[in-house]
């Protein structure tokens, strides 16, 4: 995998420190509230696993699976729900945990969908934000890192399901995806 990486963008240490910090902020902001973390599979699982352990207040966790990308590197704009939420959301505060906010199509759809399920509030925590590529108005409430317009992999993020287990975030060499 290493030889397909052009440059390491975020090291394990940088990610760990930032996730701790964001977890502390979330703990303070949601103190006394019923918090549900909703992880969007599969890209956010690594971030979710670290973030939930950086949160020091009681919370529950749930998982959703949606598809927007298929096998390509560009969003299709079509969001399909493959696995729905298990939990009842009424009276609860939902924090959607995402790996990367790119065009924003996935999250703008999910935010609306979750609101309609009766959640008290819906906010977004993303590991990475790629604001240069945004095509709809969606702003993350918690962002660990802002990244340039390059295709990145690792720490949960994939290209064709590979590279998710890299412990850092790196820029994929364009020749790997024919870019």
Nearer to Mg ion, 136 or 162 (CB): 162
Provide the token pair at 115.
């609101």
Q: Cβ 73 to ligand IMP, closest distance in Å?
A: 7
**Which of 19, 36, 43, 47 forms a contact with Mg ion (CB under 5 A)?**
43
| Choice between 20 and 74, CB closer to Mg ion | 74
What are the angstrom distances between the C-alpha of 155 and each of 39, 43, 84, 119?
14, 8, 24, 29
* Of the candidates 177, 151, 160, the residue with the CA atom closest to the CA atom of residue 169: 151
Residues in the site for ligand IMP, rule: CB under 6 A? 43, 68-69, 75, 98-106, 151-153, 157
Lookup: tokens for 44: 């956010």
Q: Which does 138 bind (CB under 5 to 8 A by kind): ligand IMP, Mg ion, none?
A: none
* Residue 158 falls in the annotated catalytic set: no
- The dihedrals phi and psi of 86, each to the nearest 5 degrees, come to -95, -30
**Which one is catalytic: 102, 129, 137, 158?**
102
């Amino acid at each position: 995998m290493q030889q397909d990486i052009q440059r390491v963008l975020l090291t394990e240490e940088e990610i760990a420190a930032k996730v701790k910090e964001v977890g502390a902020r979330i703990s303070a902001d949601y103190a006394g509230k019923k918090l549900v973390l909703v992880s969007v599979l599969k890209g956010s699982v690594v971030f979710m696993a670290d973030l939930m352990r950086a949160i020091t207040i009681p919370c529950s966790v749930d998982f959703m699976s949606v598809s927007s990308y298929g096998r390509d590197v560009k969003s299709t704009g079509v969001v399909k729900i493959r696995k729905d939420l298990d939990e009842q959301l009424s009276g609860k505060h939902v924090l959607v945990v995402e790996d990367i906010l790119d065009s924003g199509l996935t999250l703008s759809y999910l935010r609306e969908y979750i609101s309609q399920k009766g959640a008290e509030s819906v906010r977004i925590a993303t590991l990475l934000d790629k604001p240069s590529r945004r095509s709809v108005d969606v702003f993350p409430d918690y962002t660990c890192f802002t990244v340039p317009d390059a295709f990145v992999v690792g720490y949960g993020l994939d290209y064709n399901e590979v590279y998710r287990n890299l412990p850092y975030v790196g820029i994929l060499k364009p020749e790997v995806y024919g870019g």
